[in-house]
Amino acid sequence: MNTPLSHIRNFSIVAHIDHGKSTLADRLIQLCGGLDAREMEGKEQVLDNMDIEKERGITIKAQTVRLAYTAKNGETYTLNLIDTPGHVDFAYEVSRSLRACEGSLLVVDASQGVEAQTLANVYQAIDANHEIVVVLNKVDLPAAEPERIKEQVEEVIGIDASQAVMISAKTGLGVPDVLEAIVQQLPPPREGDATKPLKAMLVDSWYDAYLGVIVLVRVIDGVLKKGQTIRMMGTGAKYPVERTGFFTPKMIQADQIGPGEFGFITASIKEVADTRVGDTITEDKRPTEAALAGFKPAQPVVFCGLFPVDAADFEDLRSAMGKLRLNDASFSFEMETSAALGFGFRCGFLGLLHLEIIQERLEREFNLDLIATAPSVVYRLVMADGGVQELHNPADMPDVMKIAAIEEPWIRATILTPDDYLGGILKLCQDRRGIQADLSYVGKRAMLVYDLPLNEVVFDFYDRLKSISKGYASFDYHLTDYREGDLVKMSILVNDEPVDALSMLVHRTAAEKRGRVLCEKLKDLIPQHMFKIPIQAAIGGRIIARETISALRKDVTAKCYGGDVTRKRKLLEKQKEGKKRMRQFGKVEIPQEAFIQALKMGDS
């Protein structure tokens, strides 16, 4: 039985990071009986089901849940909620989710107010033609000022907040009102005809160890049923549907998915490339006429090389990447080889957190040990012969004599901060070659708009911003254009041998400082060896910074008797294991974390 359109509400929960989206989702699931008290017991943010999400307390992947809600008017509605991530690196997940539904719950922390991603996400929702319910969360906190924040929402965002719902997602206070507001204020699907040919949006897909590829769809017209042969209109791939069903959030099989609804299908899909998010799914024998507009593909902004620690794991890495790519269409990879690291992949990410998370997932979910090289943005090289080429990897930089100009990507950043930290943040932006575009006030907070080179932002700008502002500033950005820059390639030499995985392009004026900080960092990251190790930064043949790791002087077990041998051997075996996580450069072993840790510049 399909739910009539009038009784369906599809919505995303959007907010700045940590404003309580996933916690609100918990409460909504609980109130609608999606999970009972026992199943919720002791759990928080049940939709954050990856280990990595639980550990970091953040949502990485959007999740969809179908709930049945009996409203005050006695009618039962089907609610499809999508919990989205808040971190700027995952903005693509948000934009996709918004495209698949008609309404949004805009959650705003009533103690913090409007933040940079609040703005970025709500503008996206408005762009997607959404009706918006404003939810002021965390009213249980002593610092909460819901009335003031309500005004702020109206003032800064310019939307009507007169019907805003005030809640505590943590205690559950006010959450029933959210459900009523969803039914009253959000629209049902705008179109949907069960008799028309099948037209469904491929919202997401991921790989499940037991079921294979699972595809999340939003049906527009027609009905999706088990046994149907479907066709992906973009890729042309055809598959018979094996299972259909819903997430409640438990995975429940159902006979069909009707118009206006979200659900999942499985269809023994083998090819990663066959399930492209944003594609239109139709029935092969009775196709729809017009495909949906599709999503704008995600633009990777940071690239780095990922190499297996053990060269024998290369094929495993390739297949793991294929599977992970199914889970996360916003990351890309292609094979590369490096003199020092052997065979691996050059991968594109939406940001540094995204990079860290993909690396960690590859290591944990697929049991691989990886080395990540220095992340880099995509440079554009204007060659002396007039040609233009992209540079994803500083190690591949051609002879400088052949290059006429190097262009680098710039972003426009929006930063919201309490006035107190404005000075520090202005200095940070200035140090990072920023150009101020605007400075205005949102209540007592400054809203700063800056143009910045992406390369100055990617590595640790966010961390620095957080530390300067004691966590109070928020930040959002988008790519704008490419601009020419006075960039040079800086190489790092460890024990007199160049380590290509650490070479990078830097602005000439910043080179010396960066070189110095990098050498200092490496000094801390590379363990002492039995001999001293010089670390140098160089531009061309010129050394611009150097540090020395002194030789180890004392490392010997004082007493060792017959009975200790087993213990000592086990220790040695562990040490050997540990060494596998290091990379040998000449005589020096560099721990794999060093490659990425070294680039977090700290106080610069």
The DSSP letter of residue 560 is -
556 touches ligand SAM (CB under 6 A): no
Binding residues for Mg ion restricted to 4-43, rule: CB under 5 A: 21-22
Whether omega before 188 lies within 30 degrees of 0, making that bond cis, reads no
558 binds, among ligand GTP, ligand SAM, Mg ion, none (CB under 5 to 8 A by kind): ligand SAM
Q: Confirm whether residue 469 is marked as ligand binding.
A: no
Instruction: Give the closest residue to 474 by CA, choosing from 414, 529, 424.
Output: 414
Instruction: Give the closest residue to 2 by CA, choosing from 179, 184, 246, 227.
Output: 246
531 touches other proteins (CB under 8 A): yes
How many residues contact ligand SAM, by CB under 6 A? 2
Q: Confirm whether residue 20 is marked as ligand binding.
A: yes
CB contact at 8 A, 323 and 331: no
121 touches ligand GTP (CB under 6 A): no
CB contact at 8 A, 211 and 183: no
Mask of contacts with ligand SAM, 318-357, x by CB under 6 A? ----------------------------------------
210 touches other proteins (CB under 8 A): no
Which class for 516: exposed (0-12), middle (13-18), buried (19 or more C-beta within 10 A)? middle
CB contact at 8 A, 197 and 16: no
Q: Which of 553, 554, 559, 576 binds ligand SAM (CB under 6 A)?
A: 559
Q: Annotate 80-102 with three-state secondary structure.
A: EEEECCCCHHHHHHHHHHHHCCC
Q: Which of 569, 583, 595, 597 binds other proteins (CB under 8 A)?
A: 569
The DSSP letter of residue 501 is G
CB contact at 8 A, 103 and 159: no
- In the complex with ligand GTP, the residue whose CB is nearer, 19 or 325, is 19
88 touches ligand GTP (CB under 6 A): no
543 touches other proteins (CB under 8 A): no
Q: CA-CA distance, 339 to 414, in Å (whole number)?
A: 40
Q: Confirm whether residue 23 is marked as ligand binding.
A: yes
Distances (CA, A) of 47 to 248, 365, 573, 598: 11, 18, 40, 34
Q: Confirm whether residue 556 is marked as ligand binding.
A: no
Q: Which range, of 183-191, 304-312, 364-372, 568-576, touches other proteins by CB under 8 A?
A: 568-576
566 touches other proteins (CB under 8 A): yes
Min dist CB 554 to ligand SAM, Å, is 14
Q: CA-CA distance, 15 to 108, in Å (whole number)?
A: 6
557 touches other proteins (CB under 8 A): yes
How many residues contact ligand GTP, by CB under 6 A? 21
In Å, how far from its chain's centre is CA 85? Answer: 8
Residue that has been written with the tokens 């070479």 in this structure: 503
Distances (CA, A) of 518 to 122, 452, 475, 581: 39, 21, 25, 21
34 binds, among ligand SAM, ligand GTP, Mg ion, none (CB under 5 to 8 A by kind): none
- In the complex with other proteins, the residue whose CB is nearer, 474 or 495, is 495
Q: Confirm whether residue 139 is marked as ligand binding.
A: yes
Residue 96 sits at φ, ψ, to 5 deg, of: -65, -45
Q: Which of 334, 419, 573, 593 binds other proteins (CB under 8 A)?
A: 573
For 357-425, the DSSP string reads HHHHHHHHHS---EEEPPPB--EEEEETTS-EEEES-GGGPPPGGGEEEEEEEEEEEEEEEEGGGHHHH
Q: CA-CA distance, 180 to 106, in Å (whole number)?
A: 15
Q: Which of 7, 9, 21, 346 binds ligand GTP (CB under 6 A)?
A: 21
Q: Confirm whether residue 396 is marked as ligand binding.
A: no
CB contact at 8 A, 520 and 549: no
CB contact at 8 A, 147 and 141: no
Q: Which two tokens stand for residue 32?
A: 């609608």
Binding residues for ligand GTP restricted to 140-169, rule: CB under 6 A: 140-141, 168-169
Q: Confirm whether residue 72 is marked as ligand binding.
A: no
Instruction: Give the closest residue to 99 by CA, choosing from 241, 218, 232.
Output: 218
Residue length of the chain: 604
Closest residue by beta carbon to ligand GTP: 86
Q: Which of 51, 387, 587, 602 binds other proteins (CB under 8 A)?
A: 587
312 touches other proteins (CB under 8 A): no
Question: At a CB cut-off of 8 Å and minimum separation 6, what does 363 contact?
Answer: 369, 370
Q: Which of 12, 59, 80, 244 binds Mg ion (CB under 5 A)?
A: 59
Min dist CB 566 to ligand SAM, Å, is 17
CB contact at 8 A, 327 and 206: yes
Q: Which of 142, 162, 385, 561 binds other proteins (CB under 8 A)?
A: 561
558 touches ligand SAM (CB under 6 A): yes
Q: Confirm whether residue 22 is marked as ligand binding.
A: yes
- In the complex with ligand SAM, the residue whose CB is nearer, 312 or 558, is 558
Q: Which of 210, 390, 576, 603 binds other proteins (CB under 8 A)?
A: 576
Min dist CB 178 to ligand GTP, Å, is 12
* Residues in contact with ligand GTP by the rule CB under 6 A: 15, 17-23, 45, 57-59, 85-86, 137-138, 140-141, 168-170
Binding site for GTP: what residues are annotated?
18-23, 137-140
Which residues participate in the annotated binding site?
18-23, 137-140
Residues that bind Mg ion (CB under 5 A): 21-22, 59
Residues at the interface with other proteins (CB under 8 A): 529-531, 552-563, 565-566, 568-569, 572-573, 575-576, 579, 587
Binding residues for ligand SAM (CB under 6 A):
558-559
